[in-house]
Chains A and B, each alone.
Chain A
Amino acid sequence: MATKNVWIAGLVPPVMLAVLLLTAASPRVKANDAANAEVKIDNFSFGPQSVTVPVGATVTWTNRDDIPHTVVSTEGVFKSKVRDTDEKFSYTFAKAGTYPYYCTIHPKMTGQIVVQ
């Protein structure tokens, strides 16, 4: 029993490492600066309302209204502090998925980031 455990423990790390390298390699290459995205907050709306980015991309929100807003993931993934005029918030998406978000001050303001 003891021997078997040791054998498994010894085998797994190289396998895991290989898997990690495989999954990490392709997105990392694509997620250069050009893949990053900007979302502008104008007139109480997020524009564009839906943005698609590759895994590893950074999305930056800029509030261009005279009124403060927040950028908060509906599922609790990210949460900005209050962003007043011209203040920014960035989040780097490490995992694929669809991330709906909204402004907690003006909940009619909603958007989503699709990470592929």
Chain B
Amino acid sequence: MANNKQDLIDQNLQDLNNDGVDRRGFLKCMAWAGTGLVWTMSGGIPVSRAFAKGYGKDAAKSGDFTFVQISDSHIGFNKPANPDVTATLQTAINKINAMQHKPDFIIHTGDLSQLSKPSEFDTLDQVLKGASPKQIYFVPGEHDMLSDNGDEYLQRYGKGTKGTGWYSFDQKGVHFVGLVNVANLKAGGMGSLGQDQLEWLENDLKGRSASTPVVLFAHIPLWTIYPDWGWGTDDSEQALSYVKRFGSVTVLNGHIHQIMQKVEGKVSFHTAMSTAFPQPAPGSAPSAGPMKVPAEQLQQVLGITDVNYVVSGRSLAVVDSPLGASSPLASGKETEW
């Protein structure tokens, strides 16, 4: 309870301001500019870019590509504020299918299901089948590991992965690593990667050129957002020490059902909205449980994250778009962080 919400926000802003850019103004500015928050990493200095001007129109040079992050679909959840999480996931998929620049693939950062039930995974598969990108990469959330130590999840989504479901792959010169920080959690702790996975990660990154852009993705944030609610990973520092030498590192997480971002040197951290239900800002509620919002506001607090990789400058731009058409961000309203 040491942190109240304001302390935490100030702390985040301080982190954001390390590079001398007035990020408070920046975030406001970006909120004015388009349908989502946009930032481009270029040599460690964030450069603003209006989503409205569109990656699809002026980019798409060969080698550039886009992928979409979705998170926390929680199929099986049926309580306020969202009695139909399948429908909102479908809305997210429709939004992806309508994108001007077709994404190469989708990353789902976990909590696919509410209770790891086969029927929930079946429903998820049914909806995802309709997505235009056919390649979907997954990492599990704690809700996906509830039955038989995650066997149900691993059988369906973990083919060819190591340990509890971690793996890496390359896409057009960008190295992606899917990490699992929801297995074998210790009493009193937060998320955990564990020694086996850390050793694997160190080896996986070894020998790669420092100019390779690296994307790490995992369910629980790999940076400490709010320890009282377990919003962090106990051994993330160790993992991040292995990526320090790389020129561009993007860390994508879910779990907290809201957008949070931080830039620390060459590493930019980002958490995505859920497609199912929102969660309160850190410390703003008695617990991290689902936040109840009026039905007409729901689509503004759910969303997807669109990541554009631009070859020139090896930069990644992260764009969050709410599911709802008339988002507070698109309407030019200021959003305080």
Contact = CB atoms under 8 A, between A and B. Distances in A.
Interface of A: 43-45, 65-68, 70, 74, 82, 84-85, 100-102, 104-108, 110
The 3 tightest CB contacts between A and B, nearest first, are A43-B287, A102-B187, A108-B230
A50 to B, nearest CB: 14
B251 to A, nearest CB: 21
Given A82-B115, A107-B185, A67 B289 contact: yes
A100 B188 CA distance: 11
Given A44-B229, A110-B188, A105 B146 contact: yes
Contacts of A107: 185-190, 230
Contacts of A85: 79
Interface string B170-196: 000000000000000111111000000
The DSSP consensus for interface residues of chain B is loop
Nearest to A106: B230
Interface in B15-39: none
A65 B288 CA distance: 10
A17 to B, nearest CB: 39
A65 B189 contact: no
Given A107-B190, A108-B190, A108-B228, A68 B79 contact: no
Contacts of B187: 74, 100-102, 107, 110
Contact of A68 (B143, B190, B229, B286): B143
A43 to B, nearest CB: 4
Contacts of B185: 104-105, 107
A44 B189 contact: no
Interface footprint category on B: 20 to 34
A68 B141 CA distance: 13
23 contacts: A44-B229, A44-B287, A44-B289, A66-B79, A66-B80, A67-B289, A68-B146, A70-B146, A82-B115, A82-B147, A85-B79, A100-B187, A102-B188, A105-B185, A106-B142, A107-B186, A107-B230, A108-B188, A108-B227, A108-B228, A108-B229, A110-B187, A110-B188
B116 to A, nearest CB: 8
Nearest to B186: A107
Given A105-B143, A107-B230, A66 B186 contact: no
A61 B132 CA distance: 45
Nearest to B192: A107
A107 B145 CA distance: 14
Contacts of A43: 286-287, 289
Contact of A67 (B227, B230, B290): B290
Contacts of B80: 66
Interface centre among B114, B146, B186, B189 (most CB of A within 10 A): B146
A45 B287 contact: yes
A44 B288 contact: yes
Interface in B98-154: 114-116, 142-143, 146-147
A27 to B, nearest CB: 28
Given A68-B115, A82-B115, A105 B142 contact: yes
A44 B142 CA distance: 15
A67 B230 CA distance: 15
Given A66-B289, A66-B290, 7 more contacts: A44-B287, A65-B289, A66-B79, A67-B290, A68-B114, A82-B115, A110-B188
A44 B185 CA distance: 16
Interface string B285-301: 01111100000000000
Contacts of B286: 43
A54 B316 CA distance: 60
